[in-house]
């Protein structure tokens, strides 16, 4: 049983822990059941109860706390709640005691100017949520974040892995390593890391399908685990066998990627394992989320429909899945089908005429 109010972060195969209310660092080189860890946690709990209130009414920190306790915040996805809480913690640490009634647009703009574009946009979303909550509560009359706009971010999203990069990763990390098991599960399922760390045998039905609800969108993903493969996926039989073999080398338990100590891996920890392992295999810019994009692209390029991508990837709307089929169709218009390419290749072979 895990102790409450403990913030855990996995990095490089190691778990770091803090007492969430007091930000007290807890021992990270002993199990949480160890008497020394329990004593440190109990001391932090006691100090939390002794501390005087630090959230004066009308302060930015108090309004941020109210926003985090609201029904609107609790209705967000787990992924988005994590992002908002992270940025809210940063805002409270820097400006928490300041009165929100004195907050102006240029104050928020100055805070955003310190950050790279992507993080600035995440911070702006959190400022908007705090201000919207404060206005609804009557603490402020006007929203100082209303006139600010997101910073432009030029990106094509996460890049998919090429076939050569996938083979290079597998060559570097053989079956039997944790890195390979994490890679194979994410690659086969196309799951985001936030969902992959929670997957286990309880998600596999009698029909052999792995079914889980996505944390980000709420859509249900349906992945052939032991069931017959659909026509477009029949070339992937050996690939699925590799995935099962890689997972069999782990300890097993409630989740497929459970650690040797019987703990589920953290979302950040899983992402770091795959990203770091890719760099060690001399693959630049390859990420865990890129594996999801690769799987869905493969479905489209192997003839899977938008509905097939929607089912495997757990998309809630058809439009999301159609982006993959449209890209695959454009590629076929240039390269032709695989059959066309084979015919061209045969035509290039010299014929020995007598």
- Asked if the structure places residue 353 within a domain, the reply is no
Residue 195 has pLDDT above 90, yes or no: yes
CB-based contact 6:32 (threshold 8 Å): yes
pLDDT (0 to 100) of residue 130: 97
- Is 346 within the bounds of a domain? no
- pLDDT tens digits along 221-238: 999 999 999 999 999 999
Statement to judge: residues 236 and 143 lie in one domain:
no
- Range with the lowest mean pLDDT among 125-139, 179-193, 316-330? 316-330
Q: Percentage of the chain with pLDDT > 90?
A: 58
pLDDT in tens, 66-107: 999 999 999 888 778 888 999 999 999 899 889 999 999 999
Residue 349 lies in a domain: no
pLDDT at residue number 229? 96
In this structure, is residue 12 part of a structural domain? yes
Q: Which residues contact 1 (CB under 8 A, 6 or more apart)?
A: none
Q: What is the pLDDT of residue 354?
A: 43
How do residues 29-64 score in pLDDT, each as one tens digit?
Answer: 788 888 888 888 888 888 775 554 557 889 999 999
Q: Does one domain contain both 151 and 167?
A: no
CA torsion angle for 339, 342, 347, 349 (degrees, to 10)?
-160
pTM reported for the whole predicted model: 0.60
**pLDDT on residue 52:** 45
Residue 20 lies inside a defined structural domain of this protein: yes
The answer to whether position 28 is within a domain reads yes
How much is the pLDDT for 149?
A: 94
Q: Is residue 350 part of a domain?
A: no
Lowest mean pLDDT among 22-31, 105-114, 271-280: 22-31
Q: Are residues 37 and 59 in the same domain?
A: no
Domain end (from 155, 182, 215): 155
Are 74 and 28 in the same domain?
no
Number of domains in the chain: 3
pLDDT band at 279 (very low <50, low <70, confident <90, very high): very high
3-state secondary structure of 227: coil
User: What is the model's pLDDT at position 351?
Assistant: 47
Please indicate, yes or no, whether residues 278 and 329 belong to a single structural domain of this protein.
Answer: yes
In this prediction, residue 30 carries a pLDDT of 84
CA distance 11 to 148: 35
Q: 218, exposed or middle or buried, with CB in 10 Å at 0-12, 13-18, 19+?
A: exposed
Q: State the average pLDDT over residues 199-224.
A: 93
Q: What pLDDT is stored for residue 288 in this prediction?
A: 92
The pLDDT, as a whole number, for residue 339 is 44
Q: Are 85 and 193 within one domain? A: no
Q: Where in the sequence is the domain holding 33, given as residue range(s)?
A: 1-41
> Between β-strands 209-213 and 24-26, what pairing exists: parallel, antiparallel or unpaired?
unpaired
How many other CB atoms are found less than 10 A from the CB of residue 319? 10
Find the range with the poorest average confidence among 193-197, 236-240, 321-325.
321-325
**145 and 209 inside one domain:** no
Among 100, 134, 155, identify where a domain stops: 155
Residue 208 lies in a domain: yes
Same domain, 238 and 332: yes
Question: Final residue of a domain: which of 155, 185, 210?
Answer: 155
Task: Please report which confidence band the pLDDT of residue 353 belongs to, taking 50, 70 and 90 as the band edges.
Answer: very low
Q: Which residue has the higher pLDDT, 188 or 319?
A: 188
Q: Give residue for tokens 């286990």.
A: 200
Report the pLDDT value the prediction gives residue 336, as an integer from 0 to 100: 60
Contact (CB, 8 A) for 214 and 98:
no
**pLDDT tens-digit profile of 137-194?**
999 999 999 999 998 876 556 789 999 999 999 999 999 999 999 999 999 999 999 9
Region 127-137: mean pLDDT is: 96
């Amino acid at each position: 049983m895990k102790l409450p109010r403990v913030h855990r972060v996995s990095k490089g195969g190691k778990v770091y822990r803090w007492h969430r209310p007091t930000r007290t660092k807890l021992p990270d080189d002993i199990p949480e059941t160890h008497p020394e860890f329990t004593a440190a946690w109990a001391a932090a709990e006691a100090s939390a109860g002794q501390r005087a209130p630090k959230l004066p009414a009308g302060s930015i920190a108090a309004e941020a706390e109210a926003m985090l306790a609201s029904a609107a915040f609790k209705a967000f996805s787990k992924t988005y709640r994590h992002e908002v809480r992270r940025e809210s913690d940063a805002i409270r640490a820097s400006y928490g005691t300041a009165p929100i009634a004195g907050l102006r647009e240029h104050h928020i703009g100055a805070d955003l100017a310190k950050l790279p574009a992507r993080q600035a946009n995440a911070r702006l979303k959190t400022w908007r949520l705090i201000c919207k909550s404060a206005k609804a509560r009557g603490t402020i009359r006007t929203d100082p974040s209303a006139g600010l706009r997101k910073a432009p971010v030029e990106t094509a999203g996460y890049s998919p892995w090429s076939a050569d990069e996938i083979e290079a990763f597998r060559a570097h990390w053989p079956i039997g390593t944790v890195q390979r098991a994490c890679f194979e599960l994410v690659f086969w399922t196309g799951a985001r890391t936030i969902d992959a760390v929670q997957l286990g045998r309880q998600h596999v039905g009698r029909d052999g399908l792995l079914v889980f609800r996505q944390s980000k969108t709420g859509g249900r993903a349906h992945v052939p685990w032991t069931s017959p493969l659909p026509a477009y996926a029949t070339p992937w039989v050996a690939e699925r066998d590799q995935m099962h073999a890689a997972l069999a080398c782990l300890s097993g338990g409630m989740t497929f990627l459970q650690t040797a100590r019987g703990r589920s891996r953290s979302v950040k920890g899983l992402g770091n394992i795959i990203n770091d392992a890719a760099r060690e295999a001399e693959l630049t810019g390859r990420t865990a989320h890129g594996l999801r994009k690769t799987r869905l692209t493969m479905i489209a390029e192997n003839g899977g429909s938008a509905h097939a991508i929607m089912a495997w990837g757990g998309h809630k709307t058809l439009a999301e899945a159609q982006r993959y089929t449209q890209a695959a169709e454009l590629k076929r218009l240039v390269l032709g089908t695989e059959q066309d390419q084979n015919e061209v290749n045969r035509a290039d072979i010299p014929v020995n005429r007598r």
